[in-house]
Every structure is written in structure tokens, then in C-alpha cells.
A and B are shown apart, each in its own frame.
Chain A
Amino acid sequence: MNRATRTLRFFALLILYCIAARGFSQNAKLQLDILNKLGEKAARSTDITLDGSMLNFIASVIEKLDDEGDQDVAQLKSIIKGLKGIYIKSFEFDAPGQYSKEDVEAVRSQLGSRWTRIVQSIDKRNHEHDEIYLMKNGDKVAGVVILVAEAREFSVVNIVGDVPIEKISALERHIAANDDDSHRKKPKKGSGHDEE
């Protein structure tokens, strides 16, 4: 093998490595824009996109906010520290059957072999199919997808980065209480479960 061939092979491998590394770092983020059409039928829809730059901005500004004693902000800081993105699409409908299996499959099909389903809950009586998927990168979590497909609700939560699930799950009740207040002002018709 002459020198030119070796150099060529080296650069080809380098390019492949870069492409693989790029794909590896990106594929924890799902394409959720395909669900936008459900917004027309939904009685209530929530769309949150906090990408890496936005989370960096939030991390930098909450440092500046004079909330040193605020427990919410302390929790927020510790949670978003390792995150690269939070993407949420949530649709609540007045009547069942407003979204199709294809809509759910469109999301599920993006969860390739690197994703592991860690929780699945199927309730056929109530047409509920809830799942949690996890992507790991070595010892760390690279991404989480929470899929809630119920009769009157379809929600996808995609968190990219080192997700501290136990911290999110154990978020202080008083943070949730703030949410309850805001929701009580706008009573829901669907079967949502933000009001815990």
C-alpha cells in the first residue's frame, strides 16, 4: 500500500468518524414537528422547544437572577446543568380518536436500536399506552423520551443530554403547585394529568 492510499484511507476514516460522532450526538433529539398537524384538532396543545443555546441562556441568566434562596431555581440549576435540549409536544382532545396510530408510530419509529424502553404501561380498557425510553452513552444518559398516548391525549417529552430523571421525578411539590394554580385558571376538558 503506497503512501497516497494510506493518506486517503486515513482521511476517509476521519470523515466517517466525524459523521458518526455527529450522528451519535444528535440522534437523541427527535423530529417532533411531524405532530404539528394535531394542533388543529386539539382542545389544548403545548409546544415547548428549549434547545441547547436556550438552555445555556437560561443557565447563564438564572445565575444572574437574585434568587439565591429560591429552592425552585436551585433545582432548576441542578437539572438543566447537563441538558442539551427539552422538546415537548402535548395535545389534549375533547373527544377520543383524534390522533392515529401512525402519529404514534411516526415518533416511535425514530427510536432506533440505541434507545431502550425502560417502562411500558398498556391499558387496553382505557386505550392508554405509555412508554419511557432511555438512550445511554456509556454510563451517562444521553436522552429520554416519554410517550403518553391515551384516548384524549397524546404527549411526547424529549429531553436530550444527561437527564437527571430522579431529580425531575422528585421535583418539589411546590413547583407543581404553581402549575396547578395556572391550570385552575384554565380548566381542562381532556384527560391530562398535569394537575398532580
Chain B
Amino acid sequence: MHFSDDDLRAALKRKDPGEGFTQRVMARVEQAKAEGDRQPSRKGLALPSWWTRRPVWAFAIIALLLLGFAWAGYEYSEYRHDQTARRQHQQLEEAQRQQQEAEQARDQAMMALRIARSKLNHVLEQAQIPVATDQIRRQRL
């Protein structure tokens, strides 16, 4: 392939990049910087420098944290135990209350039937009908 001088001159001629070239370049730079910030920093993952310089303090803090967790766990188990005991106590009280209500209801029904029986038998006796109430039984049949 043969190129003439004119062809080379035309190819190597300076060209105008157009309007907004600077803005486009700056936008690309900003974008690259933002992407760089999103990448995890190796520095953040590294142990702090004081850790290596004061290991006693570091272990003391870890020990304190462990003690704290142990204490919190113990307190939580105590709290759960209390809650369970309280719930059982409430259930027992509720059962006793229901038992009392049941007994009261039963007694009331018994009283009603006793009065009914008393009045019924009184009327039957007044009418000189034997309490066995054959007549009533016949009426029912």
C-alpha cells in the first residue's frame, strides 16, 4: 500500500476535540475516584496499630467483653426463669379462680333446685298428692 505525502499530512493533522472536552475528561476522573472509594480499603481491615503496641490492654478489653456477655447471659436466663415462674403462678391463680367460679355456679344451681324442690313438694303436700308425683309423671308421658 502506498501513501503519498499529502495522505500522511492529512492523517497527522491536528484536530479540534470539540466542545465540552474538558468537562468529559473531568467527569471521567470523578467517576474513577468514586469507584476507588467504593473498593474496600486494605487499611481498614488491618488491626489498629495500638493493638500490636499494647497487647495487654487488648486482652483486657476482650476479657471484659467476655465477662460482660457471660453476665448478660446469666441475667437473661434468670429473667426467663422469673417469667416462667410468674406465668405458672398466674396460671395456677387462674385455675383456682375458675375452680371457685365453677363451685359458686354449681352451688347457685343447687340452691335454685333446692328451692324448686321445696316449693314443688310443699304444693304437692298441700294438695295431698304423694311426693312421688305419679300424677305429674303421668302428665309428662
Asked whether A and B interact, the reply is yes
Partner-B contacts on A (CB < 8 A): 46, 48, 50, 54-55, 57-58, 61-62, 64-65, 72-73, 76, 79-80, 86, 88, 90, 116, 118-121, 123, 128, 130-132, 134, 139, 141, 146, 148, 155, 157, 159, 165-166, 168-171, 175-176, 178-179, 193-194, 196
B window 104-129: CB within 8 A of A: 105-106, 108-124, 126-129
On whether A50 and B109 interact (CB within 8 A), knowing A131-B123, A166-B133, A170-B131, the answer reads: yes
Q: Given A65-B102, A76-B110, A130-B123 in contact, is the A193-B131 Cβ separation under 8 Å? A: no
Smallest CB-CB separation from A79: which chain B residue? B113
Report which B residues bind A (CB closer than 8 A). 98-99, 101-103, 105-106, 108-124, 126-129, 131-133, 135-137, 139-141
Q: Is the CB of B103 within 8 A of A165?
A: no
A102 to chain B, nearest CB (A): 21
29 pairs across A/B with beta carbons < 8 Å?
Answer: A48-B112, A50-B109, A58-B105, A58-B108, A62-B105, A65-B103, A65-B106, A72-B110, A73-B106, A80-B113, A86-B109, A86-B113, A86-B116, A120-B127, A121-B123, A130-B122, A131-B123, A141-B140, A155-B119, A157-B116, A166-B133, A168-B113, A168-B116, A169-B117, A169-B131, A171-B114, A193-B122, A194-B114, A196-B121
Residue on A with the closest CB to B130? A169
Residue of B nearest to A123 (CB): B126
Q: Is the CB of A86 within 8 A of B136?
A: no
With A62-B102, A176-B117 in contact, is A88–B126 under 8 Å at CB? no
Report how far A139 CA is from B138 CA in the complex, Å.
11
Q: Number of residue pairs across A and B with beta carbons under 8 Å?
A: 138
A129 to chain B, nearest CB (A): 10
A171-B117, A194-B115 given; A64·B102 CB < 8 A: yes
Using A148-B119, A169-B120 as known contacts, say yes or no to A50 and B112 having CB atoms under 8 A apart: yes
Is A130 within 8 A of B127, CB to CB? Answer: yes
CA separation between A165 and B131, bound complex, in Å? 11
Complex Cα gap A3–B97 (Å): 61
Q: Which residue of A lies closest to B133 (CB)?
A: A169
* Cβ contacts under 8 Å, A193 to chain B: 118-119, 122
Query: A79 — which chain B residues lie within 8 A by C-beta?
Result: 113
Tell me the smallest distance from the CB of A151 to a CB of chain B, in Å. Answer: 13
CB distance from A68 to the nearest CB of B (A): 14
Q: Which residues of A contact B106 (CB under 8 A)?
A: 58, 61-62, 65, 73, 76
